[in-house]
């Protein structure tokens, strides 16, 4: 049991890949007249526009469990005009000076992205970027941003110990044909905690005495073993309205079930209900023809269910290397939720955003590995159980504008 609230960040070293490190002459902190720094800054100068944003600690890919405090802050510089390949240097304020810590190249969307320390000696850090001169564009320095806004997480669970924290409850414990779960249901036996992670599984139901026939729109020939699914949420114990929610997850390997980190309104999803279901990430298994990763948002317009979103594009670009994989290593999947927009990210890199009809009611996080009726024929029963692992979940709630 390990869920906690109002976590204070600890001192971190600047752990940046050697390939990103670059040196240059330091500049004076007096170059910037903006103080104190916020988490977002905007500069317009020399016909150029530089937007800099410091996000929470949502960068932490790797093969093993790790402390959430050791995750790195995501910093994104968005610069226009766009010049693909332009060198952008990240600098940290060090007393009266600015010290370079990393460089990145501007991509086709105009972004240069960094992973940086959150604190130094226990204090928030202040950053800026310096976009280098190139092809008619002058060198320009952004206004600074600070990590101070994200030092205290509203909610954290690192899944230490051997039991789920009471903040989590087990969901979906009945067979619901209307939810395309005729053959599976949530069950505590499909959830365990060990080694600093929660393991959510799809297993055969040991109590079943018959086999399941899939009917309706997902009808398929044959009968299948009933399944138990790991399906937990914080409904009734923790919810929030606006902010950033993140989970560090290593997904299941095979198709036949899908793992997910998602959120629902505290009063549930039904015709006429307020709010939206926000699927931060769903994974449908290795070797899926669409890559396996998807994000969605579902809401009701009167009695009509409306869904937006879909498969994440260029999924391999978010992996650390060719040997990396969504079922091989942990990655941080997050959503930034504001009154106007939801922005989805993997290890701090934006994968997509949605605007319009954004939920304005309190929501609660959910973790699940579910075998839906339409997926069950895609896996041989001898390949069960399948598992997904969740290293930690964090939420940074922000006040409504």
Listed as own residue / partner, the contacts of 313-317 with beta carbons closer than 8 Å and 24 or more positions apart are 313/351, 313/352, 315/291, 316/291
pTM of the model: 0.90
Q: Give which of 394, 385, 395 is closest to 192, Cα–Cα.
A: 385
Do the Cβ atoms of 197 and 169 come closer than 8 Å? no
Do the Cβ atoms of 265 and 283 come closer than 8 Å? no
Residue ranges covered by each domain of the chain = 8-151, 155-397
Could you tell me if residue 289 is left (phi over 0), alpha (psi between -120 and 50 degrees) or otherwise beta?
A: alpha
Q: Identical fold at 8-151 and 155-397?
A: no
| Residue 26 confidence (pLDDT) | 42
Whether the CA torsion 259, 262, 268, 273 is positive or negative: it is: negative
Give tens-digit pLDDT for 248-294.
999 999 999 999 999 999 987 766 667 899 999 999 999 999 999 99
Q: In CATH, what class is 8-151? A: mainly beta
| Residue 19 confidence (pLDDT) | 32
Q: Which residues are bridge partners to 131 per DSSP?
A: 88, 140
| Residue 173 confidence (pLDDT) | 84
For the chain, residues with pLDDT lower than 70 are 1-2, 5-36, 177-179, 270-273
Q: Which residues touch 269 (CB under 8 Å, ≥6 apart)?
A: 275, 277, 298, 300
Q: Give which of 235, 262, 230 is closest to 246, Cα–Cα.
A: 262
| Residue 12 confidence (pLDDT) | 32
| 3-class DSSP assignment, residue 189 | helix
| Residue 2 confidence (pLDDT) | 65
| Residue 272 confidence (pLDDT) | 65
| Residue 17 confidence (pLDDT) | 35
User: Strand (E) positions, 9-107?
Assistant: 27-28, 40-45, 48-59, 72-80, 87-94, 97-105
CATH number of 155-397, picked from 3.40.50.1000, 2.60.120.200, 1.10.3720.10, 3.40.50.300: 2.60.120.200
Q: With 0-12 CB in 10 A as exposed, 13-18 as middle and 19+ as buried, what is 339?
A: exposed
d(CA 27, CA 23): 12
Do the Cβ atoms of 26 and 44 come closer than 8 Å? no
| Residue 21 confidence (pLDDT) | 31
Could you tell me if residue 385 is left (phi over 0), alpha (psi between -120 and 50 degrees) or otherwise beta?
A: beta
């Amino acid at each position: 049991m390990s869920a906690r609230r109002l976590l204070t960040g600890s001192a971190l070293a600047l752990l940046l890949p050697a390939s990103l490190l670059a040196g240059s002459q330091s500049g004076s902190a007096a170059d910037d007249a903006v103080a104190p720094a916020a988490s977002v800054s905007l500069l317009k100068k020399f016909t150029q526009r530089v937007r800099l944003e410091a996000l929470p600690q949502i960068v932490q890919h790797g093969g093993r469990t790790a402390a959430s405090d050791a995750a790195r802050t995501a910093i994104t510089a968005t610069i226009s005009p766009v010049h693909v390949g332009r060198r952008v240097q990240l600098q940290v304020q060090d007393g009266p000076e600015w010290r370079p810590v990393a460089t990145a190249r501007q991509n086709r969307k105009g972004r240069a992205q960094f992973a940086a320390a959150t604190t130094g000696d226990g204090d928030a850090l202040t950053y800026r970027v310096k976009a280098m001169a190139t092809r008619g564009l002058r060198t320009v320095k952004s206004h600074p941003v600070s990590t101070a806004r994200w030092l205290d997480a509203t909610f954290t669970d690192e899944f230490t110990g051997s039991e789920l924290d009471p903040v989590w409850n087990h969901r979906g414990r009945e067979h619901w044909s209307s939810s395309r779960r005729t053959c599976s249901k949530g069950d505590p036996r499909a959830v365990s905690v060990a080694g600093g992670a929660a393991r959510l599984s799809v297993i055969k139901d040991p109590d079943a005495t018959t086999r399941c026939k899939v009917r309706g729109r997902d009808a398929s020939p044959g009968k299948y073993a009933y399944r138990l699914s790991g399906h937990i949420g914080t409904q009734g114990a923790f919810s929030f309205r606006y902010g950033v929610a993140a989970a560090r997850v290593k997904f299941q390997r095979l198709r036949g079930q899908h793992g997910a980190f998602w959120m629902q309104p505290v009063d549930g999803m039904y015709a006429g209900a307020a709010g939206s279901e926000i699927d931060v990430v769903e994974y449908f298994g290795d070797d899926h023809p669409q890559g396996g990763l998807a994000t969605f948002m579902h809401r009701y317009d009167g009695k009509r269910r409306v869904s937006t979103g879909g498969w994440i594009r260029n999924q391999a670009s978010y992996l650390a290397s060719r040997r990396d994989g969504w079922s091989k290593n942990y990655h941080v999947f997050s959503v930034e939720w504001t009154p106007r927009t939801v922005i989805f990210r993997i290890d701090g890199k934006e994968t997509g955003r949605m605007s319009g009809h954004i939920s304005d009611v309190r929501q609660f996080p959910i973790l699940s590995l579910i075998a839906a009726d339409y997926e069950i024929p895609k896996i041989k029963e001898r390949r069960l159980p399948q598992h997904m692992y969740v290293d930690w979940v964090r939420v940074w709630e922000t006040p409504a504008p």
